[in-house]
Amino acid sequence: MKVTVLTGGVGGARFLRGVVDVLHPGDVTAVVNVGDDVEVLGLAVSPDVDSVVYALAGLADEERGWGRADETWNALDSAAAFGGESWFRLGDRDVGLHLVRTQALRAGEPLSAVTARLAAAAGIETAVLPATDDRLRTWIETPSGTFSFQEWFVARGHRDPVKRVRFEGSADARPAPGVLDALLEADAILIAPSNPFVSIGPILAVERIRRALERRRVTAIAVSPLIGGRAVKGPAADMLRRLQGGTTPAHVGESYSGLIDALVFDEADAAGTDAVSALGVRPIVTHTLMRDGASRRRLAEAALDAVAVA
Ligand code: FO1
């Protein structure tokens, strides 16, 4: 079975790892958010692409959720000592990847091409595709002003309430090479348990990707990032409350209106089952917390089982 997974953020990368462990890695394609890409100390950083690369290569720091395991911070400390910015923490091992990417982008190589090279160098068989090679950036409008995604998320600790999310460049952004084919040729499309607004939203803001999903001929299944109406990590619950009116599975389902056939959500949210059915979306209730390899695989299996019976 060939599966295409839309993913962003820490939960997305963990889930993708589960999918790859259950299926043949070469049968999986990841379409990854680039809205929170950022330039730090002159380096081009693609946090969500990197979370996927590190997760699939077994290099991720499981506890921190981002960056590499066994990390040290000497380069960043040195940069800070010389007056450089240090609010966005780039580890010594992590920096190596950003150096290669930055050089390639400056030489005119598209993000998708350099990502393919990085993934291959890390021994990854799964296709890792940035949603677009064009510049697409997430901006967060809050009562205190409008901030780039990382400024809001990291520098300000995502404390400012979100009034609106905007995707700079989305009107002109084209799907990266391979993305539309991956959606058209898949036997199933999965949306990872990522934040619907800032992790999956930028992917769907690419018009031709959204249209491909709307016109899908195969089952599309989203996994809710919430457990008991709360985010495992990050601002997803608060954003759903403010932008979608609530944190039940139906609110998650509504954020993918017209784009999914089934929604996987946690047993703690089972009371919301009928409301999901009322949306015309098949509810799938299971344990969704990904604590370790076994629970990641179980969640991937639950989502893939839904493909078989849909
Ligand atoms: N998240 C933080 O909360 N603080 C950081 O300093 C930070 C640095 C960082 C460096 C490289 C990278 O790939 C990710 C990094 N992240 C950091 C995570 C990142 O901001 C978010 O997890 C994603 O953008 C949300 O999907």
State the pairing for strand pair 38-40/43-45.
antiparallel
Residues 71/62, Cβ–Cβ less than 8 Å: no
Residue 65 CA: nearest ligand 1 atom is 22
- Separation of alpha carbons 101 and 266, rounded Å: 37
Atom of ligand 1 nearest to the CA of 40: 10
Ligand 1 center from residue 234 Cα (angstroms)? 11
Does the CB atom of residue 90 touch ligand 1 within 6 A?
yes
Which pair of structure tokens corresponds to residue 210?
A: 């959204």
| The two three-digit tokens of residue 298, written as one number | 């179980």
> What tokens appear for 218 in the block?
């195969």
Indicate whether 23 belongs to any domain. Answer: yes
Ligand 1 within 6 A of 34 CB?
no
Q: Establish if 120 belongs to a structural domain.
A: yes
Query: What does the pLDDT read at residue 168?
Result: 98
Condensed to tens digits (0 to 9), the pLDDT of residues 272-289 reads 999 999 999 999 999 999
45 touches ligand 1 (CB under 6 Å) = yes
Contact present, 236 and 223 (Cβ < 8 Å): no
* Three-state DSSP state, 65: coil
Q: pLDDT tens digits, residue range 32-66?
A: 999 999 999 999 999 999 999 999 999 999 999 99
Coil/strand/helix, residue 284 = strand
**Cβ proximity of 128 and 56 under 8 Å:** yes
Q: Would residue 56 count as lying in a domain?
A: no
Other C-beta atoms lying within 10 Å of the C-beta of residue 40: 20
Q: Does the beta carbon of 66 lie inside 6 Å of ligand 1?
A: yes
Q: What is the pLDDT of residues 153-187, one digit of tens each?
A: 999 999 999 999 999 999 999 999 999 999 999 99
| CATH classification of the domain holding 277 | 3.40.50.10680
Number of domains observed in the structure of the chain: 1
pLDDT of residue 192: 98
Q: What is the pTM of this model?
A: 0.97
The pLDDT value given to residue 38: 98
Number of H helices, E strands in the chain: 13, 14
Residue 310 has pLDDT above 60, yes or no: no
pLDDT 10s digits, 98-148 = 999 999 999 999 999 999 999 999 999 999 999 999 999 999 999 999 999
Residue 271, domain member (yes or no): yes
User: 274 CA distance to ligand 1 centroid (A)?
Assistant: 36
Structure token pair of residue 310? 């849909």
- Cα–Cα distance, 254 to 281 (Å, whole number): 10
pLDDT at 309: 58
Partners of 127 in the β-ladder: 29
Buried b (16+ CB within 10 A) or exposed e, 135-173: ebbbbbebeeeebbbbbbbbebebebebeebebebbeeb
C-beta of residue 305 within 8 angstroms of C-beta of residue 289: no
pLDDT single digits (tens) 180-227: 999 999 999 999 999 999 999 999 999 999 999 999 999 999 999 999
Q: What is the pLDDT of residues 223-282, one digit of tens each?
A: 999 999 999 989 999 999 999 999 999 999 999 999 999 999 999 999 999 999 999 999
Q: Is residue 91 part of a domain?
A: no
Instruction: Place 306 in a pLDDT band, splitting at 50, 70 and 90.
Output: confident
Which domain covers residue 251, as residue numbers? 3-38+110-135+171-308
Q: Which of 229, 221, 310, 235 is nearest to 263 (CA)?
A: 221
* Residue 230 · residue 266 · CB < 8 Å: no
Q: Does a structural domain hold residue 246?
A: yes
The pLDDT of residue 307 is 83
User: Is the pLDDT at 18 greater than 60, yes or no?
Assistant: yes
Tokens representing residue 87 in the block:
């609010």
Q: Which amino acid is at 184?
A: L
Res. 91 pLDDT band, cuts 50 70 90: very high
Residue type, position 170, single letter: S
Q: Is residue 93 part of a domain?
A: no
In this structure, is residue 202 part of a structural domain?
yes
